[in-house]
Amino acid sequence: MPHPATRRVIRPTRLAAVAVSAALAAAVLPLAPATAAPGPRDVPRDAPAAAHRPAPKLPVPAGWPFAQRLSHTSGTGVLHGGASYWSDFVYDDKGAAIPGGFTAANISRLAPTQGVYQYPDGPAHQNGADVFVAATGADASATYWRVDWNTLVDPKVPIAVWTFDTDDDATTGVSEWPADAGVTSPGIDTALVVSSRGARVIDLATGKATDVTTAGGRLTVDKRARSFVVKVPRSVLPASGDWRVRLGTGLASDDGTTMAAPYVDPSATLPVGAAHVYNLAFRSVGQEDPVHTDGMTSALVAAYQSGAASIPPFDQIGADGQARFVTGNFWMEDNQADTLAGGDVSTFSQKISWARLRAKASTREPVRHGYSNRWYVTSLRLGQGITDDQGGADGDGRPNYLGRIQPYGVYVPKGYRGGATGAKAPLTWVLHSLSVNHNQYGALNPRLLQQLCERRGSICATTLGFGPDGWYFDEAENDYWSVWRELGAAYRLDPRRTMITGYSMGGFATYELGLAHPDLYAGAVTLAGPPQCGVTLDGNQSGSGAVPGRCSTDGGTGPLVRNARWMPYRIGQGTEDQLVPFTSVEAQVGRFDRAGQRHLFVRYPGEDHLEWATQDRFDTVVDGLGTPRVLRNPPRINFTWRPHLNRPALGIGATTAYWLSHFKARQDGAGSIARVRARSFGVRFDRHGVTRTGPTPVDAPLPASVSDLSWTHGQPLPHRRQLVLRLDNMRSVTVDLARAGLTCGRFVVRSDGPSAVRLAHLPGRDRVLHVTSGRQVVRVPCR
């Protein structure tokens, strides 16, 4: 729905002096920026501080003599300064699939893994063999082999096995990997086995093993960098020509020389001779596609359907939906899992050219079109590994994926070129549902991504939020803004063409984040999104069972709806939704309608919450979305916010609402609300009329009825030098008079208590008006 036609002209008037009444005069104070200094070039300046704070730098591991440069796209690598760096997928250390079916743990997840391997309780922290970076380097005297672990609480937990095909010929050498890895790859002739207890080079033809440290080499274990680095003298491992290199990791045996047998759910039985490998490096982004099918898929689908058919809520998603949960690559490990089940891992490898390393060749990080996973370094220190969710239907609302490396999903349209001269692309957020993850839409809804991203020429992104159930509060919100920072650094974005969308919990976030920062978004699409934080299992009460904390005390978005005056919403909802009562969404739509705010409401008779999510047929809601632009300086602002959601340490909270900023409330406890209503008669703008249409029936792709409230172009609004403010629970607020089209005139302020109003960008200097409760008028003469 496009914005109405508008006209805006600002005619500055030179003001030699500014006078205010003596009772309201205040000292001149310097104007502070609403947020931190701008960071990445294409992140909105008015985004919270978390979007501008620089990401921490990863330490260079001890024992690694090369300048470090990493690709931020998982499943890709770069060359730099004599070394080759490979960035692996994170939280993908799930091992092999079971040919006969799934474990109870697989079936009970809305973001299931194909692999079934688990970890024993203790220092593995459910993530102990997860490769983050695999790197190789060379200098005149030695080669260097490096593994960075996503989690390294106890260095005794993991073991890494490198295998080398030193003539890059699969017809020579042997196939069996050493150290009880339980996998094969034809053509290998040498291996390097590394644990915290030692590093050995093994001649696979003879079985001869050479201890690297006794042969003049070195093993460095760096817990801070979470890294193993092995220096191997060229006398032990001559390096020339082109090698085919592979890497697998698992749990170390007690003496650190072999891989221990993997742990699995008690409901599963591993086949005899099953692989011991939890994680294989050098799987490219193309090999771990978001929807993965192969020779094992049909059997796995059948096994999943058999197990899920009697387990709520999976019994409600239908056969097609259950199949999507198998073919959907939620953790970018489906190909790995199926390959490990077969045992031959030759398909995952990297070619190392020693000549290129000696020449210190450098390559750029590839721009990956289509779907991929990227990563960033969080500034939050949450710990390591994965913790169990302690909540019920809503989850515990706390971070569960704690590592400093956090993944996110990205879709880049084919037409995007980037670079200094490339056109800037719109950004569309597609935020994930409760109990799912950052790959939800790549795995379940590729058609939706085509509609939102490819067809609109928009870069799309989905965050993990440190776990499946953060409801985009606190740390999960910090993750959202941090990813926006990363996107602004990696891509050329148009900050004024950002949309926010999401399903279920992600749909709630389109209210929570969209209404809290309406001047950052050109529009929103809410799919099955509850207006209140939390879900209901009985379908009768909105918001029952919300998780503790801000979700419960500050999770209602109804009072914020009027913030969306200049931000159109599209809302889709099934009438038979089990988790988000249709009546609660209908009430939210009523708030938009009563306010005369633009919205599109699509009712889906008979559609529920879970099956609708997997059908991938949202055309009626998203068709015609276009790429609208944020309106920067409207004549009227209605901004309600929740002060209790401000978390300065996390860099989140209210920042700006168009030409208003620096909000502070007098009462900021749990559940508190503050509000400012502003009207500038100095902004030239046109009136608009309200037109309602529908409900109009639609037959395809799903039966639906559509209601619409749009605006029609009208006559110009009155224009004069006047500003009207109404403040509720506001201790202070700043007005950018330049953007409000004023340099002098009549300022009318009504407040329910003492407030300080800063008038910024007055000619010469800013002024602060200390306003008592009630109505007060200040005149600033024009000279």
4 is a domain residue: no
Same domain, 423 and 350: no
Same domain, 504 and 396: yes
Pairing of strands 755-760, 730-736: parallel
Percent of the chain at pLDDT exceeding 70: 92
Q: Is the pLDDT of residue 29 over 50?
A: no
Give me the pLDDT at residue 22, please.
29
Q: What is the DSSP string of 94-144?
A: --PPBTTB--HHHHT-SS--S--EE--SSTTTT-TT-EEEEEEEE-SSEEE
Residues 6 or more apart in contact with residue 648 via CB below 8 angstroms: 49
Q: What is the pLDDT of residues 372-431, one digit of tens each?
A: 999 999 999 999 999 987 666 567 899 999 999 999 999 999 999 987 778 999 999 999
Same domain, 415 and 348: no
- Domain-ending residue, one of 358, 389, 404: 358
Q: Using CA of residue 397, residue 401, residue 404, residue 409, what is the dihedral sign?
A: negative
435 is a domain residue: yes
Q: Is the pLDDT of residue 13 over 70?
A: no
Residues 6 or more apart in contact with residue 238 via CB below 8 angstroms: none
Same domain, 412 and 354: no
Same domain, 505 and 541: yes
Span 91-107, mean pLDDT? 83
Q: How far apart are CA 688 and CA 5, in angstroms?
A: 9
Q: How far apart are CA 83 and CA 680, in angstroms?
A: 59
Same domain, 132 and 205: yes
Q: 30 or 480: which carries more pLDDT confidence?
A: 480
Contact yes or no for 532/591 (Cβ under 8 A)? no
Give me the pLDDT at residue 3, please.
35
521 is a domain residue: yes
Greatest Cα pair distance in the chain: 95
71 is a domain residue: no
Contact yes or no for 758/26 (Cβ under 8 A)? no
Q: How far apart are CA 678 and CA 641, in angstroms?
A: 14
Give me the pLDDT at residue 694, please.
94
Contact yes or no for 739/720 (Cβ under 8 A)? no
Q: What is the pLDDT of residues 261-303, one digit of tens each?
A: 999 988 788 888 999 999 999 999 999 999 999 988 888 888 8
Pairing of strands 83-87, 131-138: antiparallel
Q: Is the pLDDT of residue 21 over 50?
A: no
Same domain, 640 and 536: yes
pLDDT band at 320 (very low <50, low <70, confident <90, very high): confident
Pick from 440, 439, 325: nearest CA to 372: 439
334 is a domain residue: no
Give me the pLDDT at residue 536, please.
56
Same domain, 405 and 350: no
pLDDT band at 191 (very low <50, low <70, confident <90, very high): very high
In the structure encoding, which two tokens stand for residue 580, read together?
Answer: 């988000």
Same domain, 443 and 382: yes
Contact yes or no for 631/711 (Cβ under 8 A)? no
Q: Is the pLDDT of residue 672 over 60?
A: yes
**Which residues are paired to 411 by β-bridges?**
371, 460
309 is a domain residue: no
Q: Is the pLDDT of residue 730 over 80?
A: yes
Q: Which domain holds residue 428?
A: 49-54+378-780
Q: Is the pLDDT of residue 370 over 60?
A: yes
Pick from 583, 598, 516: nearest CA to 556: 516
Contact yes or no for 497/460 (Cβ under 8 A)? no
Same domain, 655 and 575: yes
Same domain, 271 and 385: no
- Domain-ending residue, one of 358, 386, 402: 358
Same domain, 453 and 353: no
404 is a domain residue: yes
Contact yes or no for 308/107 (Cβ under 8 A)? yes
Q: How far apart are CA 190 and CA 243, in angstroms?
A: 11
Give me the pLDDT at residue 24, please.
29
How many Cα neighbours within 13 Å face the side chain of 10? 15
pLDDT band at 26 (very low <50, low <70, confident <90, very high): very low
In the structure encoding, which two tokens stand for residue 592, read together?
Answer: 């938009």
In the structure encoding, which two tokens stand for residue 87, read together?
Answer: 């960035």
Q: 330 or 315: which carries more pLDDT confidence?
A: 330
First to last CA, the chain: 43
- The pLDDT mean for the chain works out to 91
CA 710 vs CA 9, 568, 622, 720: distances in Å = 25, 9, 16, 28
The number of distinct structural domains making up the chain is 2
454 is a domain residue: yes
Minimum mean pLDDT range among 308-312, 456-460, 517-521, 757-761: 308-312
> How remote is the C-alpha of 567 from its chain's centroid?
22
Question: Any idea what the CATH number is for the domain that residue 260 is in?
Answer: 2.60.40.1190
Q: Is the pLDDT of residue 542 over 70?
A: no
Minimum mean pLDDT range among 414-423, 588-597, 633-642: 414-423
pTM for the structure as a whole:
0.93
Classify residue 392 by its DSSP letter: B
Q: What is the pLDDT of residues 684-708, one digit of tens each?
A: 999 999 999 999 999 999 999 999 9
Q: How far apart are CA 363 and CA 453, in angstroms?
A: 28
Percent of the chain at pLDDT exceeding 90: 81
Minimum mean pLDDT range among 47-61, 151-165, 551-565, 761-775: 761-775
Question: Any idea what the CATH number is for the domain that residue 661 is in?
Answer: 3.40.50.1820
- Domain-ending residue, one of 325, 358, 391: 358
